[in-house]
Structure 1
Amino acid sequence: MKIAQVGNVIEFKDGLQGIVEKVNENSVIVDLTYMDNYRELELEHKTVVNHKNYIIIAEQI
């Protein structure tokens, strides 16, 4: 399992995507405003995702 780094774009939970803002021991904090349809989904700005529950789709941008 490859752990995401700050700036990576990850995908998790049924196609949600975000930019990693902080890497913790067991999880990452993700900025969800990266998605074009962010406002339509009515989500919080940030969320926490366990390392087991995402895939990296783009290296540091």
Structure 2
Amino acid sequence: MKIAEAGNIIEFKQGLKGKVQKVNKNSVIVDISIMENFRDLEMEPLTVVNHKNYKIVRTAE
């Protein structure tokens, strides 16, 4: 399992995508406000995702 780094874009939970803000021991904190339909989701902008539950879509540059 590859662990994401800050700045990576990850995909999780049925297509949600976000930018990793902070990496913790067992999870990452993700900003999902980068998604085009963020306002329609009615969710908080930051969420926590376990390392087992995401895949890296794009690495930080």
Q: How does 1:9-48 map to 2 (within 5 A)?
A: 9-48=9-48
TM-score, structure 2 normalization: 0.97
Report how many aligned residue pairs link the two structures. 61
**Residue 6 (1) aligns with residue 6 (2):** yes
Give the Å deviation of 1:42. 0.7
Q: TM (normalized to structure 1)?
A: 0.97
Extract unaligned runs of 5+ from structure 1. Answer: none
Percent of aligned pairs sharing the same letter: 62
**RMSD of the TM alignment (CA)?**
0.6
CA offset digits 1:28-50 (Å, max 9, x no partner): 00001010000011111100000
